[in-house]
A and B are shown apart, each in its own frame.
Chain A
Amino acid sequence: TQLLEQSPQFLSIQEGENLTVYCNSSSVFSSLQWYRQEPGEGPVLLVTVVTGGEVKKLKRLTFQFGDARKDSSLHITAAQPGDTGLYLCAGASDDKIIFGKGTRLHILP
């Protein structure tokens, strides 16, 4: 059974601090996606990474796909209250997509 483990489960930090959240698996994925979900809304796609070692930047967010395509990280620089939400990673392979349970991030003003 493929599993995606996200850590930490919860993270509460002050505005302006940096943070990194992780998404790990023992399985290889053809691609990995990061989503952000806010209360009462569906997940919104932030980025897709497909190549081992790939790094993508989206303003203050930096996404990295592991060399072996089994893990990924999301780094946020100078976190802002608007970054608050549930961050989900999803791994795709063959005809399956599996989601991690997410990291619930709360940025304190």
Chain B
Amino acid sequence: DSGVTQTPKHLITATGQRVTLRCSPRSGDLSVYWYQQSLDQGLQFLIQYYNGEERAKGNILERFSAQQFPDLHSELNLSSLELGDSALYFCASSVRDFSYIQYFGAGTRLSVL
């Protein structure tokens, strides 16, 4: 158990809908990272927050947004969903700002039908 909690574990929704994925980092970790994993693209970095502030952006679509709350949990919002958004979404956390030592949650499997 990495100590990073992601909910829900599975999510099935329809095209055009909006969903929110939630992540609670390890106790004491201030950084949260979001990744998307698909079979053809592999693991893609989306965005990072540190102590409530956005710190780094990767290949995140404009339809996607995230935030980190004062209690350090984070949410990833995906809107106007398309079939191609079906993937595993992982959250990771670290103590420091942009650390390469990250602890991953078990992921949320999103299926867009």
User: Interface residues, chain A, CB within 8 Å of chain B?
Assistant: 31, 33, 35, 40-45, 48, 88, 90, 92, 95-102
> What is the minimal beta-carbon distance from B50 to any residue of chain A, in angstroms?
11
Q: Which residues of B contact A44 (CB under 8 A)?
A: 2, 104
Q: Which residues of B contact A88 (CB under 8 A)?
A: 42-43
| A31 CA / B107 CA spacing, docked (Å) | 25
Per-residue CB contact flags for chain B residues 11-49 toward chain A (1 = under 8 Å, else 0) read: 000000000000000000000010100000111110010
Of the candidates A31, A40, A101, A102, which one forms a contact with B100 in the assembled complex, judged by CB atoms under 8 Å apart?
A: A31
Residues of A within 8 A of B35 (CB): 99
Contacts of B79 in A (CB 8 A): none
A41 touches B100 (CB 8 A): no
Chain B residue nearest to A45 in the complex (CB) = B101
Could you list 19 further interchain pairs (A-B, Cβ under 8 angstroms) beyond the known A35-B104, A92-B100?
Answer: A31-B100, A33-B101, A42-B2, A42-B92, A42-B106, A42-B107, A44-B104, A48-B101, A90-B43, A90-B100, A95-B55, A96-B45, A96-B58, A97-B33, A97-B100, A99-B35, A99-B43, A100-B42, A101-B42
Cα–Cα, bound, A18→B106 (Å): 29
Q: Looking at the assembled complex, report how far the CB atom of A29 sits from the nearest CB atom of chain B, in whole angstroms.
A: 9
